[in-house]
């Protein structure tokens, strides 16, 4: 790091990778582990619930997607709250909702109550999206920001795999279906409780304290202690850069960025969640079998595909994002993911051939992870100013989760009319739209958060105004 006096933001930008980054990754990542588990386990659970309760396909689709719909509201709500009252005060609120929602879902006595409890769970899940992303973004340095935030997102892989393992263990042990799905849903409360504990020990975001609250001394002290002396900053006044929601929504640059982050994330989540939550249904249809054992076989195959193709994609994206470019990687991922969807749709009879289908389906998974699934999460936390960073990410994540809701709810309907091929062809169209929307965004790799958002200009303008106000007062 430089020997010259630096603000907290500048010191964080230049900080070498250290143990405090690892602690921040784990703290933020546990929230995302929980989000992933809760969102993806429902696809397996409802295959049991629908038989147990005699649900129609429409009711099953609603159970699968209701959490994603409420995540839309949760991301908007908590994203805004975190910019108003601070990150730390918001840390545990969304996790508490996840604990309650998971436990209550496990004891749901009926279809209606399950919908209500999953809706509450979704508010917490949605709220954790901006918190997990912004938390890590604001602790990251410039050189490795994509890697650090990407590793937080990669906890989604572990959460998803955990869901498959829990489901396989319960089904293989011949646990009664009514008990099995309840354990699947209730298990999500355990990591969510861990999130509450971990985040209580984490200090307020130093960038937020400095840029938004103007509490530079407190920010410098907090980060020096949390980083064990790795990050040492000087107290510099006049660095506040606060903008209002009205200014944010009337700024052409930020609106274009918002269209790029929210729009590309929306079309991606439509395709990704529609396919992923319905994956057991897709694989079962390709296997062309019936019987109680087929669900276990389908989940096992899906676990193999996810482990072979998706997991490497997550971690390769995190490791190479800063070299390739965050926006560039999103473009690459959209293109090849969409191409895999198109090939599944146009190659005759491929959905009746298990091995070729799983190969292409796996390739689509790889480029989803080595691309927009990870980069949409990262980009939405980089391009907005500190005082609106959580709000901007929350709007983007919320709109994305609405797209996921539509994908999960509509996928079985589209599949019933046009088959698996037709549903994936539609996902190809979404990938093309994602490419176009990504072009609205700047390339954040190698740039500071202040440079990307224009905060230095905002801070300088505010400093001039404050200086003028002081002079007028003295006169």
Q: What's the rounded Cα separation, in Å, for the pair 175 and 195? A: 29
Question: Which of 436, 402, 453, 416 lies closest to 264, judged by CA?
Answer: 436
Q: What's the rounded Cα separation, in Å, for the pair 449 and 143? A: 11
Return the ∠ at Cα 226 (arms to 221 and 230), rounded to 5°.
85
**Under 8 Å CB-to-CB from 38, ≥6 apart: which residues?**
67, 98, 101, 102, 121, 125, 188
Q: What is the gyration radius of the CA atoms in the chain, in angstroms?
A: 23
Q: What is the 3-state secondary structure (H, E, C) of 304-328?
A: HHHHHHHHHHHHHHHHHHHHHCHHH
Q: What's the rounded Cα separation, in Å, for the pair 208 and 230? A: 19
Q: Residues 145, 137: contact at Cβ < 8 Å? A: yes
Stronger pLDDT, 280 or 236, i.e. the higher one: 236
- Helix locations, 439-454, DSSP H: 449-453
Query: Rounded mean pLDDT of 278-305?
Result: 65
Q: What's the rounded Cα separation, in Å, for the pair 146 and 369? A: 14
From 45-54, 104-113, 306-315, 423-432, the region with the lowest mean pLDDT: 423-432
Domain edges within the chain? 8-468
**Under 8 Å CB-to-CB from 194, ≥6 apart: which residues?**
30
Q: Residues 80, 129: contact at Cβ < 8 Å? A: no
From 88-92, 429-433, 435-439, 469-473, the region with the lowest mean pLDDT: 469-473
Count CA within 13 A, CB hemisphere, residue 95. 26
Is a pLDDT exceeding 90 seen at residue 379?
A: yes
Query: Rounded mean pLDDT of 180-185?
Result: 96
pTM: 0.88
Is a pLDDT exceeding 50 seen at residue 154?
A: yes
Q: With cut-offs at 50, 70 and 90, classify the pLDDT of residue 454.
A: confident
Average pLDDT, the chain: 87
Question: What's 457's DSSP letter?
Answer: H
| pLDDT (0 to 100) of residue 19 | 93
In CATH, what is the architecture of 8-468?
Answer: Up-down Bundle (1.20)
From 38-47, 118-127, 217-226, 463-472, the region with the lowest mean pLDDT: 463-472
Question: What's 421's DSSP letter?
Answer: H
Q: 133-142 pLDDT, tens per residue?
A: 999 999 999 9
């Amino acid at each position: 790091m430089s020997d010259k006096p630096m603000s907290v933001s500048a010191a964080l930008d230049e900080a070498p990778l250290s143990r405090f980054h690892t602690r921040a990754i784990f703290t933020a990542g546990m929230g995302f582990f929980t989000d992933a588990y809760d969102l993806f386990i429902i696809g397996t659970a409802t295959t049991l619930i629908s038989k147990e309760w005699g649900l129609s396909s429409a009711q099953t689709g609603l159970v699968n997607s209701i959490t994603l719909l409420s995540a839309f509201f949760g991301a908007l709500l908590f994203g805004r709250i975190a910019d108003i009252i601070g990150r730390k005060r918001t840390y545990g609120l969304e996790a508490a909702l996840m604990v309650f929602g998971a436990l209550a879902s496990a004891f749901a006595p009926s279809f209606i109550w399950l919908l209500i409890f999953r809706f509450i769970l979704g508010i917490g899940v949605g709220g954790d999206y901006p918190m997990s992303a912004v938390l890590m973004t604001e602790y990251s340095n410039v050189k490795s920001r994509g890697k650090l935030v990407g590793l937080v997102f990669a906890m989604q892989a572990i959460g998803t795999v955990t869901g498959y393992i829990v489901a396989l263990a319960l089904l293989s042990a011949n646990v009664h279906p009514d008990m099995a799905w309840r354990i699947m849903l209730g298990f999500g409360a355990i990591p969510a409780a861990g999130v509450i504990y971990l985040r209580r020990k984490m200090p307020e975001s130093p960038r937020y304290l400095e840029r938004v609250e103007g509490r530079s001394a407190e920010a410098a002290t907090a980060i020096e202690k949390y980083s064990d002396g790795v990050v040492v900053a000087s107290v510099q006044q006049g660095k506040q850069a606060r903008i209002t929601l009205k200014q944010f929504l009337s700024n052409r640059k930020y609106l274009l960025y918002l269209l790029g982050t929210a729009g590309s994330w929306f079309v991606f989540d439509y395709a990704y969640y529609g396919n992923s939550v319905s994956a057991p249904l897709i694989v079962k249809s390709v296997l062309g079998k019936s019987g109680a054992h087929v669900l276990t076989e389908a989940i096992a195959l899906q676990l193999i595909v996810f482990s072979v193709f998706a997991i490497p994609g997550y971690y390769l994206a995190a490791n190479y994002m800063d070299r390739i470019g965050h926006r560039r990687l999103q473009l690459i991922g959209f293109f090849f993911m969409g191409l895999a969807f198109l090939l599944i749709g146009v190659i005759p009879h491929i959905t009746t051939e298990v091995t070729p289908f799983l190969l292409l389906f796996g390739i689509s998974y790889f480029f989803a992870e080595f691309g927009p699934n990870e980069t949409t999460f990262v980009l939405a936390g980089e391009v907005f100013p500190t005082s609106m960073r959580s709000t901007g990410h929350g709007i983007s994540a919320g709109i994305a989760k609405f797209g996921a809701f539509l994908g999960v709810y509509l996928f079985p309907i589209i599949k019933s009319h046009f088959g698996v091929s037709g549903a994936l062809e539609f996902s190809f169209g979404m990938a093309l739209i994602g490419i176009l929307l990504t072009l609205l965004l700047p390339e954040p790799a190698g740039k500071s958060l202040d440079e990307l958002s224009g905060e230095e200009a905002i801070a300088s303008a505010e400093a001039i105004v404050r200086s003028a106000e002081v002079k007028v007062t003295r006169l």
